[in-house]
Structure 1
Amino acid sequence: MPNRALFENVWPIASFALLGTCFNAVAIGFSLIGIAQIMPFSVQFTTIQLFLFSSLISACDPVAVIAFFEEIHVNAFLYVSVMGEALFNDSVVVMLYQMFSKFLAMGEENLLPVHYAQGVLSLLFIACGGALLGAICGFVAAFITKHSHRADTANPTTVFLFAYISFLLAELFGISSIISTTVYGMVTKQYVKENTEWQTSMSISYFVRVVSQASNAVTYLFLGLVLISIPSHYDVWFIIWTLVFCTIFRIIAVIVQCLYFNRFHYPRYTVIDQFILCFGGLRGAIAYGLALDIPDSVEAKPMFATTCLMVIYFTVFIQGVPMPYIVQWLKIKREHHDSNLMAGFHNIVGVLLDLGENRQILLQCNNYTRSAIEAIIGQKCMHSCCQKYERINAKYMRPALIRDKKRQEFDASRIVRNYSKAAVSNAIAEMKFTDLNKVI
């Protein structure tokens, strides 16, 4: 995931993952309660049990969509919106599930308003604690790889070992292991990559990719096997109403949030982007894993698990399978067509955006220009904050965590690297053109 694009769009992503997920969980829960009052389902359940189900069914896991986006190199803005929501949505769902599980263990008749307030505060503690733990593990891994350059083959072991440590410690302390591992990956990408040889970095990248693909394959194999291997309880009307409410409230949450952010945020969500976000709300392994974790004392557990499985099948096959054809039919912008420039600057240099690696140089220069404009007019916006962080990063953090890095007030290595990539690309293109002329 591109870190820069993630931080530039952090507020929309956080809103989709936090507010959107909470809205879906609450809206689906109250809607199913209302339907149960009109037409009772085949199994009786309490309000807390139903909210336990509505929280887990709100987990979006668009693995198929993200994999296709990576294959066709969709624009970074849409990619980080889908990927970022999928990452942090899972952590929010797990936190909601844990909160309602505690309420269920306490007993619905023993709950007081103060317990709900404590539950909300615990969500903040779990999220912030996971992020802090992941960052600490990432810094420790970077510091170790800085001083282990004589044994470069040990660096991959360090990277994977501390990733697992961050996960285990998060589970031990009762904080979000998903957020912890995600933040750990962001930190290691920033620092550890420069402490290792490029061959080692590529090996780590490909190994993670292979493990990810294998895990996805095993997950969906398991989802196919459990259909015939576990006790099931099919309540057709409960399944239908759950699908209807999941679809309706997903659309409402996406459209309302996009309308709000389009007024204050750039780039804006187009109608096509909103359609992809609505249509890409697939359910996956997180939802079903939580459904199986429901206590056996809950009478409606078989119905909840079966309904969750049916929702997963519906979203994966009806929404996920046609997604590549829908993306091609809608002609979604690819990465080399994406532009995150301000309107006036876009009109001036937009024609230059098809220059390959030169585009990255222009975008980096544009970021510095925008931060300078924000400083002149006295506004502290996203680019000013990013530049301030980069100065602190160049002066303190990079020298402490990266080998052979000196303290400096300004880090121009990104522009230098982009120029180097552009020079190499131009040289390769020139060689190919020369060889082609010789053949002709």
Structure 2
Amino acid sequence: EEEMFRPNMFFLLLLPPIIFESGYSLHKGNFFQNIGSIILFSVFGTAISAFIVGGGIYFLGRADVIYKLNMTDSFAFGSLISAVDPVATIAIFNALNVDPVLNMLVFGESILNDAVSIVLTNTAEGLTRENMSDVSGWQTFLQALGYFLKMFFGSAALGTLTGLISALISFFNFGDTYHIDLRKTPSLEFGMMIIFAYLPYGLAEGISLSGIMAILFSGIVMSHYTHHNLSPVTQILMQQTLRTVAFMCETCVFAFLGLSIFSFPHKFEMSFVIWCIVLVLFGRAVNIFPLSYLLNFFRDHKITPKMMFIMWFSGLRGAIPYALSLHLGLEPIEKRQLIGTTTIIIVLFTILLLGGGTMPLIRLVDIEDSKPRKRNKKDVNLSKTEKMGNTIESEHLSELTEEEYEAQYIKRQNLKGFMRLDVEYLNPFFTRRLTQE
């Protein structure tokens, strides 16, 4: 039977605009202030969760407690189900006066986590396609680690390079040589931006890297450098077009997710579903609590136990795990149906139970920010594209605009590492700060 939700359509048409927009609209000041914590949660935390869920399913299957899956299939399922999408939680954070650091930790983790989860799943797929019968467990682990590192850093480097090239093209004025001034022709400028937005995805997929990881880093780099070289018209047009397209793609994704309940035969096993839910919650706990305690040794703004509990509770699953479950193409067909059915149940369970319980839980544990900020009255918008990283209006993340943040940062004498390199060399080389944000 034809499935109503085609994974190829999801990964080629619907997911890239959502991922690129999340990177392009990211509030980079708050993001890079917490970049170490975000990377630890999204990369190492996701890997921990994937290994716990995958290992638990594998050993429970060998003990004949649940449906038996081999090691690569178990790891693939653990990887895909580790993709979090806390849309409802972040919308509630924005509606309430929640600590902006907690907001950014959850939001930043969800941005990178999607890409990491997809790379981990692709790693498991790559191992499945190869003949691993004569390879030991340690060799399998090293091969998987090498494949993951190649996918992660190769895709990130490709996306970063593409974004920097777009910044250079938009930086230089070709009017004297070619009689074309992109800043005076917004249609050409906008067209160039759209091409460069999708280019890293196509290039990465063409050379067997992760298009999602590449397009995410390209979005962050283009927002940080290329955006400031554009004319004011194209700046606004780019932001609003991306937000609109991403919102439409999100709507289609969740509509397909709801319709998928009736679109193909299901295989339901109670023991498998229950143990998977237990492992998902346990894997999230092992991800959040130990890493938070470790980070507190290095953070000035500590992650409190209440914040840890809210972060654990915000582990909602969305449409990405379901699309990945169909993309795996497991054989026999009953295994594919079991994984798909279990994934749908976990997604609905986390959205309805965890998402629905977030607001009363936040009020119960009293996690609201002690320094309330001036806020406009807004409706709660359950969309990842709702001004969460908007550089024009982002009062729920910071009282400073991007320009004010950078001006304040430049004045500081204690800049270190990448921030110093960016302010002193990269920004002057790749951007011209002549346009108003």
Task: Using the TM superposition, give the Cα deviation of residue 39 of structure 1 relative to its aligned residue in structure 2, in angstroms.
Answer: 4.3
* Counterpart residue number, 1:257: 291
User: Using a 3 Å threshold, how does the CA distance of structure 1 residues 38 and 116 change in structure 2: closer, same or farther?
Assistant: closer
* Counterpart residue number, 1:277: 311
* Counterpart residue number, 1:93: 117
1:232 aligns with 2:270: no
Once residues 360 and 190 of structure 2 are traced to their aligned partners in structure 1, the CA distance between those partners, rounded to angstroms, is: 38
Once residues 360 and 205 of structure 1 are traced to their aligned partners in structure 2, the CA distance between those partners, rounded to angstroms, is: 15
Larger radius of gyration: 1
Once residues 318 and 328 of structure 1 are traced to their aligned partners in structure 2, the CA distance between those partners, rounded to angstroms, is: 16
Output the amino acid matched with 2:429: Y
User: Using a 3 Å threshold, how does the CA distance of structure 1 residues 393 and 335 change in structure 2: closer, same or farther?
Assistant: farther
* Counterpart residue number, 1:154: 188
Answer yes or no: is the 8 Å Cα contact 1:91–1:179 preserved in 2: yes
- List aligned pairs for 1:298-377, cutoff 5 A: 298=332, 299-327=334-362, 330-333=366-369, 367=409, 372=413
Answer yes or no: is the 8 Å Cα contact 1:367–1:383 preserved in 2: no
* Counterpart residue number, 1:183: 217
Answer yes or no: is the 8 Å Cα contact 1:21–1:92 preserved in 2: yes
Output the amino acid matched with 2:146: L
Once residues 360 and 238 of structure 2 are traced to their aligned partners in structure 1, the CA distance between those partners, rounded to angstroms, is: 32
* Counterpart residue number, 1:125: 150
Once residues 142 and 30 of structure 1 are traced to their aligned partners in structure 2, the CA distance between those partners, rounded to angstroms, is: 44
RMSD between aligned residues: 3.0
* Counterpart residue number, 1:248: 282
1:27 aligns with 2:63: no
Task: Using the TM superposition, give the Cα deviation of residue 65 of structure 1 relative to its aligned residue in structure 2, in angstroms.
Answer: 2.5
User: Using a 3 Å threshold, how does the CA distance of structure 1 residues 196 and 74 change in structure 2: closer, same or farther?
Assistant: farther
Output the amino acid matched with 1:216: E
2:420 corresponds, among 364, 387, 410, to: 387
Answer yes or no: is the 8 Å Cα contact 1:142–1:192 preserved in 2: yes
Task: Using the TM superposition, give the Cα deviation of residue 243 of structure 1 relative to its aligned residue in structure 2, in angstroms.
Answer: 0.5
Output the amino acid matched with 2:135: L
Once residues 292 and 241 of structure 2 are traced to their aligned partners in structure 1, the CA distance between those partners, rounded to angstroms, is: 36
Once residues 201 and 78 of structure 1 are traced to their aligned partners in structure 2, the CA distance between those partners, rounded to angstroms, is: 29
Task: Using the TM superposition, give the Cα deviation of residue 151 of structure 1 relative to its aligned residue in structure 2, in angstroms.
Answer: 0.7
Answer yes or no: is the 8 Å Cα contact 1:138–1:162 preserved in 2: yes
Once residues 273 and 73 of structure 1 are traced to their aligned partners in structure 2, the CA distance between those partners, rounded to angstroms, is: 14
Secondary structure of the structure 2 residue equivalent to 1:297: coil
Once residues 256 and 111 of structure 1 are traced to their aligned partners in structure 2, the CA distance between those partners, rounded to angstroms, is: 32
1:103 aligns with 2:127: yes
Once residues 335 and 174 of structure 1 are traced to their aligned partners in structure 2, the CA distance between those partners, rounded to angstroms, is: 48
Once residues 174 and 192 of structure 1 are traced to their aligned partners in structure 2, the CA distance between those partners, rounded to angstroms, is: 27
Output the amino acid matched with 1:93: S
More helix by percentage: 1
Could you tell me which runs of 5 or more consecutive residues in structure 2 were left unpaired when the two chains were aligned: 1-25, 174-181, 375-397
User: Using a 3 Å threshold, how does the CA distance of structure 1 residues 359 and 208 change in structure 2: closer, same or farther?
Assistant: closer
Answer yes or no: is the 8 Å Cα contact 1:76–1:335 preserved in 2: no
- Residues 55-94 of structure 1 deviation map (CA, whole Å, 9 limit, x = unaligned): 2111112222234445667554223211221122122212
- List aligned pairs for 1:202-217, cutoff 5 A: 202-217=236-251
- Residues 277-328 of structure 1 deviation map (CA, whole Å, 9 limit, x = unaligned): 1111111111111111222424522111110110000011111233344445
Once residues 349 and 362 of structure 2 are traced to their aligned partners in structure 1, the CA distance between those partners, rounded to angstroms, is: 19
Q: TM-score, normalised by structure 1?
A: 0.77
User: Using a 3 Å threshold, how does the CA distance of structure 1 residues 164 and 70 change in structure 2: closer, same or farther?
Assistant: farther
Once residues 372 and 242 of structure 2 are traced to their aligned partners in structure 1, the CA distance between those partners, rounded to angstroms, is: 26
Answer yes or no: is the 8 Å Cα contact 1:103–1:111 preserved in 2: no
1:168 aligns with 2:205: no
User: Using a 3 Å threshold, how does the CA distance of structure 1 residues 158 and 321 change in structure 2: closer, same or farther?
Assistant: farther
Once residues 403 and 197 of structure 2 are traced to their aligned partners in structure 1, the CA distance between those partners, rounded to angstroms, is: 33
1:3 aligns with 2:28: yes
User: Using a 3 Å threshold, how does the CA distance of structure 1 residues 9 and 84 change in structure 2: closer, same or farther?
Assistant: same
User: Using a 3 Å threshold, how does the CA distance of structure 1 residues 258 and 403 change in structure 2: closer, same or farther?
Assistant: closer
Answer yes or no: is the 8 Å Cα contact 1:234–1:303 preserved in 2: yes
Higher relative contact order (CA 8 A, sep 6+): 2
Could you tell me which runs of 5 or more consecutive residues in structure 1 were left unpaired when the two chains were aligned: 339-355, 375-381, 406-416, 422-440
Once residues 187 and 402 of structure 2 are traced to their aligned partners in structure 1, the CA distance between those partners, rounded to angstroms, is: 32
Output the amino acid matched with 2:150: F
* Further displaced range: 327-336 or 175-184: 327-336
Matched residue count:
378
User: Using a 3 Å threshold, how does the CA distance of structure 1 residues 360 and 270 change in structure 2: closer, same or farther?
Assistant: farther
- Residues 371-425 of structure 1 deviation map (CA, whole Å, 9 limit, x = unaligned): 63x5xxxxxxx74541233101244333xxx3869xxxxxxxxxxx8xxx9xxxx
Task: Using the TM superposition, give the Cα deviation of residue 205 of structure 1 relative to its aligned residue in structure 2, in angstroms.
Answer: 1.4
Once residues 361 and 139 of structure 1 are traced to their aligned partners in structure 2, the CA distance between those partners, rounded to angstroms, is: 20
